Structure 1
Amino acid sequence: LMDHFDKNYELEHQIQGTNKEPLLDDIRSLIDSAQYTFIRQREMKGLGHAILTGKELVGDNPFAVVLADDLCINEEQGVLAQMAALHRQFRCSIVAVEEVPESETHKYGVIAGEHLSDDLIRITDMVEKPEQGTAPSNLAIIGRYILTPDIFDILENTKPGKGGEIQITDALLEQAKKGCVIAYKFKGKRFDCGSVEGYIEATNYCYENVYLKGSKAEIDKDSTEKL
């Protein structure tokens, strides 16, 4: 991952002077667009623990969490950009959700709450991977979050939950009880690239709708946008 956001001198040397050299412009632009800092989660203790390891890097700032196995595409505005705008309005944690079949709810963190509008829900309940037939709704959390820094204090006091891991859903529910956490039914298409079927579907979609058509679809390039 660290090498991915660094220069590849061998590759650039091979491309230099060929008709593919202009392709380096986009790569260099990405590398130069932000500063990248890395920290390792040394033990597999869950998403909540992984987020907690970033505390010293984030400091007292709101921040985004992007899970790479969820690919989100929207023609007009990236999902994170949509969520960043909501955070500027509400100044609280925002989680992306989408409706899933009831038969699939056991695979996700599932929320319930008070509808503020058609696509905004103030969370009152949240369950990590509920047993089939017990989910509070069919609104599943997908891998896009904007979190306020007080989540770190909550995570530090969150006991292991489902699967013996520190669950971000448990911490977010506590945050919701103390203040406000909003679920957002985002505009766009999401692919579950954590499964073989979803990965193939995403690949075919991007080939047909982005590459072949030359679409300017926003594929979460707004992830570095300042909150």
Structure 2
Amino acid sequence: MIKPLRKAVLPVAGLGTRFLPATKAMAKEMLPVVDKPLIQYAVDEARAAGIEQFCLVTGRGKTAIVEHFDIAYELEATLRARGKDAELKMLRDAQLPPGAVVTVRQQEPLGLGHAIWCARAFIDDDPFAILLPDDLVLSETPCTKQLADAYAQTGGCVVAVTEVPREQTNRYGILDIGKDDGRLVEVKGLVEKPKPEDAPSNLSIIGRYVLVPKVVEYLSRMERGAGNEVQLTDAMAKLIGQVPFHGLRYEGRRFDCGDKVGFLEAQIAFALKRPEMAPAVRAFLKTYA
């Protein structure tokens, strides 16, 4: 029997140095794309996949992320008094139910694998999703919902994958693949940031995963990989052959919002999806052509 997917871990402890000075006193996950912070896009995407419990793996200076999902009584009272019902509804839609969010601290920047290990008590014995808020996906069906649907069919582990230029494989976790039906691919192996000449394919993992709790057992060994960090990819590779493991070519377009150009591109793409904004955005873009 395949256990239902109800938990998600969101690693948000990074310093966001590529966006300094904007992130000097502000968590990078609170940077807005149009009018929603990155962290809310991630949480909304997870909720659309049936996720009910969230673990934020935080660091110093990240309290604003937790407060964003809390009730702002004074602000709500002001909006109510001014008759701003639409804005009030927007705030309430962003809130999470009591007890739905827990936070744990990653005191040292020892890698993504270490961040997930910090959430081990939350994960317990349940399957869980991982969403990296820096990766923003624009799609008709939310990316995590696509993964959750695939997981409901296959069980085991399912990761979102996309093709990257061969010369860029040294930036990503790359799949060694077996059977491939054009959407779901069997994962035979995983390699973290291989040189282009050594890469088994050009299928790269993006920041969306559904994993089984056994991965924590391997993370607990604190084995260092690329960059002398505890790599999630290395721990996942040890699960291959023990549980079903698939990559999903997701529908949609991914924006790397940890990169300035990717972040700016996401602003344009998401604004153009808003009917009330699209005409004005198209008009001003023409002035820069």
Question: Out of 164, 169, 173, which is 1:109 matched to?
Answer: 173
What is the distance in 1 between the residues matched to 2:163 and 2:179? 14
What is the distance in 1 between the residues matched to 2:231 and 2:274? 35
Residues 53-202 of structure 1 mapped to structure 2, 5 A cutoff = 53-75=118-140, 77-157=141-221, 159-202=223-266
Question: Out of 30, 39, 44, which is 2:104 matched to?
Answer: 39
Give the superposed CA RMSD. Answer: 1.8
How high is the TM-score relative to the length of structure 2? 0.69
What is the distance in 2 between the residues matched to 1:211 and 1:196? 25
- The AA in structure 2 aligned to 1:74 is S
What is the distance in 2 between the residues matched to 1:86 and 1:94? 7
What is the distance in 1 between the residues matched to 2:111 and 2:154? 28
Which residue is equivalent to 2:114? 49
Higher relative contact order (CA 8 A, sep 6+): 1
- Deviation, structure 1 residue 213: 6.4
What is the distance in 2 between the residues matched to 1:33 and 1:99? 37
- Deviation, structure 1 residue 29: 2.6
8 Å CA contact 1:158, 1:171 repeated in 2: no
Residue 26 in 1 paired to residue 87 in 2? no
Greater mean alpha carbon deviation, residues 23-32 or residues 140-149:
23-32
Once the two structures are superposed, residues 42-89 of structure 1 have per-residue CA deviations (whole angstroms, 9 ceiling, x without a partner) of 1111111111111101211111100010001212x2111111111111
Q: Which runs of 4+ in 1 moved over 4 A?
A: none
What is the distance in 2 between the residues matched to 1:158 and 1:122? 27
What is the distance in 1 between the residues matched to 2:272 and 2:131? 25
- The AA in structure 1 aligned to 2:102 is T
- Deviation, structure 1 residue 19: 5.2
1:24 and 1:158, CA in 2 relative to 1: closer, same or farther beyond 3 A? Answer: same
Q: Tell me, what secondary structure is at the counterpart of 1:38?
A: strand
Q: Tell me, what secondary structure is at the counterpart of 1:154?
A: helix
8 Å CA contact 1:72, 1:79 repeated in 2: yes
User: What stretches of structure 1 of length at least 5 have no aligned partner?
Assistant: 215-227
1:115 and 1:213, CA in 2 relative to 1: closer, same or farther beyond 3 A? Answer: farther
What is the distance in 2 between the residues matched to 1:10 and 1:106? 49
Q: Tell me, what secondary structure is at the counterpart of 1:178?
A: coil
What is the distance in 1 between the residues matched to 2:96 and 2:232? 32
- The AA in structure 1 aligned to 2:106 is Q
1:109 and 1:158, CA in 2 relative to 1: closer, same or farther beyond 3 A? Answer: same
Q: Tell me, what secondary structure is at the counterpart of 2:103?
A: coil
8 Å CA contact 1:158, 1:170 repeated in 2: no
- The AA in structure 1 aligned to 2:194 is P
What is the distance in 1 between the residues matched to 2:165 and 2:151? 28
Q: Tell me, what secondary structure is at the counterpart of 1:61?
A: coil
What is the distance in 1 between the residues matched to 2:241 and 2:235? 10
8 Å CA contact 1:110, 1:138 repeated in 2: yes
Once the two structures are superposed, residues 137-165 of structure 1 have per-residue CA deviations (whole angstroms, 9 ceiling, x without a partner) of 11111000011111111211351110111
8 Å CA contact 1:61, 1:148 repeated in 2: yes
- Deviation, structure 1 residue 102: 1.6
What is the distance in 1 between the residues matched to 2:252 and 2:269? 13
